[in-house]
C-alpha cells in the first residue's frame, strides 16, 4: 500500500472517529483513541480542516465535524449569485461612480460576496469580499432586515459610532422607513467617513436574495446624493431578472 493511500486511510479513520464520538473531541484524545502520534495527527487534522470536513469550537481546542453537504451547497449558491449579479454590479458602478456590492444574510450578519470598483482613485474602497459586518450598522444589512423575515431580538446592537442604531425600537422604526422608500442608507453608522446606500435584491420568484448597493467617502456622498443614488440603484435593479 502506497504512503499516499495509507495517509488517506488514516485521515478517514480520524474523520470517522470525530463523527462517531458524538461530542467535541481534542487532538490529544484522538491520538490516544487511534494510537496515532501527535505530529501525524496534527497534519491529518489540518488537512481535514482545510478541506472543510471539521472545525474547532470557538476559542477552544475541541474539534467537531462540519456539514459537508450544506457547506458545498452554500458555496455553489454563492458562486451562482456572484455570477448572476456581476452585470448588475457593473451597471451600478457605471451609473454612480462608486464601489458597488452584493451581500447576503449569513448567521445574523452581512456577508459581502462581490464588489466592483473600476475607479482610478488613489484611495479606493478596501476589498470587502468574504467579510462580515453587523446587520444594523450598514445599508446592506438594513435592506435585508427590512424585506426579509428575521428576528430583530437576535441582533446584538453594538455601538460603533455616535450614529449607530442601538435600540430595537429605533431599528424597527428605521426599517419601516426603508420599506416605504425602497432603499436603505448608512450615514457613518459603522465607520466614520463612510456612507452607503442599498436596495433589496429579489430573484424571479420574488424571494429575497440579499442586497446590492454602493459605499463611498462621506465627502463625496452627501445625504441628498445618497437619496438620489438610492432611487437610481432601485430603478437599475428592477430591470434585472436574477435567476438563482
Q: Can you tell me the distance from the alpha carbon of 219 to that of 195, in angstroms, rounded to the nearest whole number?
A: 9
pLDDT digits over 98-122, tens only?
999 999 999 899 999 999 998 877 6
Q: What is the mean pLDDT of residues 198-206?
A: 93
Average pLDDT, the chain: 90
Contact 123/151 with Cβ under 8 angstroms?
no
Task: Please report which confidence band the pLDDT of residue 133 belongs to, taking 50, 70 and 90 as the band edges.
Answer: very high
Task: Please report which confidence band the pLDDT of residue 71 belongs to, taking 50, 70 and 90 as the band edges.
Answer: low
Residues in the chain: 244
**In this predicted structure, what is the pLDDT of residue 59?**
77
Task: Please report which confidence band the pLDDT of residue 127 belongs to, taking 50, 70 and 90 as the band edges.
Answer: confident
Res. 93: pLDDT tops 70? yes
CATH homologous superfamily of 70-238 equals: GAF domain (3.30.450.40)
Domain ranges of the chain: 3-66, 70-238
- Range with lowest mean pLDDT among 44-58, 71-85, 169-183, 201-215: 71-85
In the numeric block, which cell numbers belong to residue 77? 449558491
**In this predicted structure, what is the pLDDT of residue 201?**
96
**In this predicted structure, what is the pLDDT of residue 58?**
77
Indicate the Cα dihedral angle 66, 69, 70, 73, nearest 10°.
Answer: 140
Report the topology of domain 3-66: Arc Repressor Mutant, subunit A (1.10.10)
pLDDT digits over 32-69, tens only?
999 999 999 999 999 888 888 888 987 788 999 887 66
Contact 62/56 with Cβ under 8 angstroms?
yes
pLDDT digits over 148-176, tens only?
999 999 999 999 999 999 999 999 999 99
Contact 120/94 with Cβ under 8 angstroms?
no
Amino acid at each position: 500500500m502506497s504512503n499516499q493511500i495509507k495517509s488517506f486511510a488514516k485521515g478517514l479513520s480520524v474523520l470517522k472517529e470525530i463523527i462517531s464520538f458524538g461530542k467535541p473531541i481534542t487532538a490529544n484524545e484522538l491520538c490516544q483513541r487511534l494510537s496515532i502520534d501527535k505530529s501525524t495527527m496534527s497534519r491529518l487534522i489540518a488537512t481535514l480542516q482545510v478541506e472543510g470536513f471539521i472545525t474547532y469550537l470557538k476559542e477552544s481546542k475541541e474539534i467537531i465535524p462540519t456539514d459537508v453537504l450544506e457547506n458545498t451547497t452554500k458555496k455553489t449558491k454563492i458562486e451562482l449569485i456572484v455570477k448572476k449579479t456581476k452585470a448588475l454590479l457593473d451597471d451600478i458602478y457605471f451609473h454612480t461612480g462608486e464601489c458597488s456590492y452584493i451581500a447576503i444574510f449569513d448567521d445574523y450578519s452581512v456577508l459581502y460576496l462581490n464588489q466592483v470598483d473600476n475607479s482610478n482613485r488613489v484611495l479606493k474602497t478596501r476589498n470587502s469580499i468574504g467579510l462580515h459586518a453587523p446587520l444594523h450598522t450598514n445599508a446592506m444589512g438594513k435592506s435585508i432586515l427590512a424585506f426579509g423575515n428575521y428576528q430583530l431580538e437576535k441582533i446584538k446592537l453594538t455601538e460603533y459610532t455616535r450614529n449607530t442604531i442601538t435600540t430595537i425600537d429605533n431599528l424597527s422604526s428605521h426599517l419601516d422607513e426603508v420599506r416605504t422608500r425602497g432603499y436603505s442608507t448608512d450615514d457613518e453608522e459603522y465607520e466614520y467617513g463612510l456612507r452607503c446606500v442599498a436596495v433589496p435584491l429579489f430573484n424571479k420568484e420574488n424571494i429575497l436574495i440579499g442586497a446590492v448597493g454602493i459605499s463611498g467617502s462621506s465627502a463625496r456622498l452627501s445625504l441628498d446624493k445618497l437619496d438620489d443614488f438610492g432611487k437610481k440603484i432601485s430603478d437599475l435593479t428592477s430591470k434585472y431578472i436574477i435567476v438563482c
